[in-house]
Structure 1
Amino acid sequence: MPSDPPPGNAHATLETAAGLATASVPVYTPDRRVGDLRREIAGQRYDCASHVVACDGTAFLGLVRIEDLLAAPADATLQTVIDRDPPVVGPDMDQEIAAWLAVSHGESALAVVDAQRRFIGLVPPRRLLQVLLSEHEEDLSHLGGFTRGAMQARVSSVEPVRRRFRHRLPWLLVGLGGALLAADLVGRFEAQLRTQVMLAFFIPGIVYLADAVGTQTETVVVRGLSVGVAFGRMARRELLAGLAIGLALAVVAGPVVWWRWADAELALSVGLAVFATCSTATVTAMALPWLFERSGLDPVFGSGPLATVIQDLLSILIYFAIVFAVMG
């Protein structure tokens, strides 16, 4: 007869190896004959019978795959087919690490033992697959920027039209307000634009470049926050990257404007504006996702539209401030 299953485990909490394990598995001492075990197992019902667990009392000795047990001679003892060095985990090990440990060792099940190597339970194959699938979906969701997880992403994808409308419209209204404010802001420089219409030619390009740099930074920051990267680890590198990108674009834009329109002051103004707006775009795109995340809001939904509005207004102000400082 099989030995009594191990006692209940106080460590069996959610998302741990012990929480996945079951004690309803065939457990035998190593001196039992293989033929006797095959007959006894055939008359029992277990949560998992992919492996036979070899124990001396409660002390875990090893595992025997059911395939090896079926292929062994009937008069052999269990100890002749035991794998005495299978991968084992402690009861408190995170379920994702436990599942990957089993896969990396080519095992379809995983033994859970305590610090005294007492057998607690076996994580069956179906639960390992469930963990791997769940963690895989979660990782993909995080890399895609969904900080609320795969289920929330699915809900957002199939939600009714009315709910889609209600979720998206407020942020787009913010964008509309920003667009009207930007138009009013440009209108305040109407007199200067009338005397030098060429200044208006560069507004769309400068605003676009700043938005593009901000979008790149925001994507990196949102994904980093989603997978648990500390904001401080990203901030310095992203800021330096933004300064370098702004400088590179300015070095290209200034000479091209000078060559095309033969106006040194205009070329200097455009070059400085490109550098300044791209640099501030990096700061804005970093700060807003961080603030959303700290506030418990998903940065995917709101930080993009809000960052665009703020950066567009800043770009226009910076551009005209530089123009008046350089060209008078």
Structure 2
Amino acid sequence: MAAVDETLQDGELLRVAADHATARVPRAAPHDRAGDLRAGLAGLLVECADDIAVLKGDQLVGLLPIERLLAAPADTPVEAIMDPDPPTVPPGEAQERAAWEMVRRGESSLAVVGEDGRFVGLIPPHRMLAVLLAEHDEDLARIGGYLASTAGARIAAEEPVGRRLWHRLPWLLIGLIGAMLSAVIVGSFEEQLAQNVLLAFFVPAVVYMADAVGTQTEAVLIRGLSVGIHIRQVIRREILTGLIVGLLVGGAFVPFCLLGWGEADLAVAVGLALVASCSVATVVAMTLPMLFHRLGHDPAFGSGPLATVIQDLLSIVVYFAVAVPIAT
């Protein structure tokens, strides 16, 4: 097996659990004694000795952490101190999900086991640390919406100005188009704004709150998808959360507007618009990652400027659609 610094090939991190597993680990049988096993480890060349793989033939039956082995009396059988139900993943498991399983179970190593129960190897902690670091860099790059790979994220800090512009301008142009469309939408309500100019005061607040709610929903959904949580497990709770957040934000705004401007119609209009825009933003924030996921693309792209533009435009439309009939 390759060492951890060799897990990068052609600038991309290997993607499945088997790519990070090593068979060069200490092994024992369930009936072995702790003292004999400790003596046998002396002079043994292995890649990682955090855990001992306990096998019956080629079948994994448990993992023995090295600290338990060192503390056990010499005549203690391995099966008495091993973990008989260690975390395991199949060879084709995605590396990020494998890392999450190791963290969730609190183990030093993660066993890779075939469908027939055959022991493939252990994923050492230093390799999983490399995976988590690379996935973190990649997710940050993708959330930023300008790069699609971990290698690209690392290169971005050193690339020349021309390539920086090439990576960023397309996404910024999408934002510019969205800004132009928002100007057109606001301009179409010129007469209504002339009747009550206060309506224009609260456009930034409604847009910001919708963006904030949408960003939180996207983060929760994408994080869940990355560790294998099914969308159906979160969709109803996120929709309900978005509605409740909208009600709380809208309810908090009404007395503020009444105290500041003394117009009950305006306060109610903007409060209702906040409820509607936060709810719509939640739906949009779930729709884009779900769509990317179904199309086989990384759903983190849905957290970029495209989602922001759509949420901003819909927030403005919803705001004027709700507020104008009430406040003018």
Using structure 2 for the length normalisation, give the TM-score. Answer: 0.64
Opposite residue 94 of structure 1, the aligned amino acid is: V
CA contact (8 A) 1:87 1:101 kept: no
CA–CA separation in structure 1 for the residues paired with 2:57 and 2:295: 53
CA–CA separation in structure 2 for the residues paired with 1:312 and 1:56: 60
- Corresponding residue of 1:224: 224
CA–CA separation in structure 1 for the residues paired with 2:139 and 2:198: 43
Structure of higher CA gyration radius: 1
CA contact (8 A) 2:25 2:48 kept: no
CA contact (8 A) 1:273 1:319 kept: yes
CA–CA separation in structure 1 for the residues paired with 2:314 and 2:279: 11
CA–CA separation in structure 2 for the residues paired with 1:250 and 1:136: 39
Q: Verify: 1:94 aligned to 2:96, yes or no.
A: no
CA contact (8 A) 1:243 1:279 kept: yes
Query: Equivalent residues in 2 for 1:6-25 (5 A)?
Result: 15=17, 20-22=22-24
Opposite residue 194 of structure 1, the aligned amino acid is: A
> Over the residues paired in the alignment, what is the CA RMSD in angstroms?
5.1
Q: Verify: 1:128 aligned to 2:141, yes or no.
A: no
Query: Equivalent residues in 2 for 1:225-264 (5 A)?
Result: 225-264=225-264
Q: Shift of the alpha carbon at 1:243?
A: 0.4
CA contact (8 A) 2:142 2:301 kept: no
- Corresponding residue of 1:152: 149
- Corresponding residue of 1:322: 322
CA–CA separation in structure 1 for the residues paired with 2:210 and 2:104: 45
CA contact (8 A) 1:24 1:47 kept: yes
Q: What 5-or-longer segments of structure 2 have no aligned partner?
A: 1-15, 91-97
CA contact (8 A) 1:99 1:131 kept: no
Q: Shift of the alpha carbon at 1:282?
A: 0.8
- Corresponding residue of 2:189: 189
- Corresponding residue of 1:284: 284
Per mean C-alpha deviation after superposition, the further-off stretch among 161-170 and 208-217 is 161-170
Q: Shift of the alpha carbon at 1:293?
A: 2.3
CA displacement, residues 58-90 of structure 1 (integer Å, 9 cap, x when unaligned):
999x99x9xx9xxxxxxxxxx968746463889
Distance 1:131 1:265, change over 3 A: same
CA displacement, residues 101-139 of structure 1 (integer Å, 9 cap, x when unaligned):
9985x9x999x9xx99xx98986xxx6344443454467
CA contact (8 A) 1:25 1:47 kept: no
CA–CA separation in structure 1 for the residues paired with 2:76 and 2:174: 69
Query: Equivalent residues in 2 for 1:46-85 (5 A)?
Result: 83=78, 85=80
Distance 1:89 1:20, change over 3 A: farther
Distance 1:88 1:16, change over 3 A: farther
CA displacement, residues 143-191 of structure 1 (integer Å, 9 cap, x when unaligned):
86969xxx93353132324444333322221111010011011111112
Q: Shift of the alpha carbon at 1:284?
A: 0.8
Instruction: Give identity over the alignment, percent.
Output: 38
CA contact (8 A) 1:142 1:226 kept: no
CA contact (8 A) 1:221 1:286 kept: yes
CA contact (8 A) 1:145 1:223 kept: no
Q: Shift of the alpha carbon at 1:298?
A: 2.8
CA–CA separation in structure 2 for the residues paired with 1:194 and 1:59: 77
CA–CA separation in structure 1 for the residues paired with 2:189 and 2:56: 88
- Corresponding residue of 1:207: 207
Q: Shift of the alpha carbon at 1:232?
A: 1.2
Q: What 5-or-longer segments of structure 1 have no aligned partner?
A: 1-13, 69-78
Paired positions, count: 283
- Corresponding residue of 1:75: none
Q: Shift of the alpha carbon at 1:234?
A: 1.2
Distance 1:228 1:259, change over 3 A: same
Using structure 1 for the length normalisation, give the TM-score. Answer: 0.64
Query: Equivalent residues in 2 for 1:106-121 (5 A)?
Result: none
Per mean C-alpha deviation after superposition, the further-off stretch among 220-229 and 268-277 is 220-229
- Aligned residue for 1:297, secondary structure, equals coil
Distance 1:224 1:263, change over 3 A: same
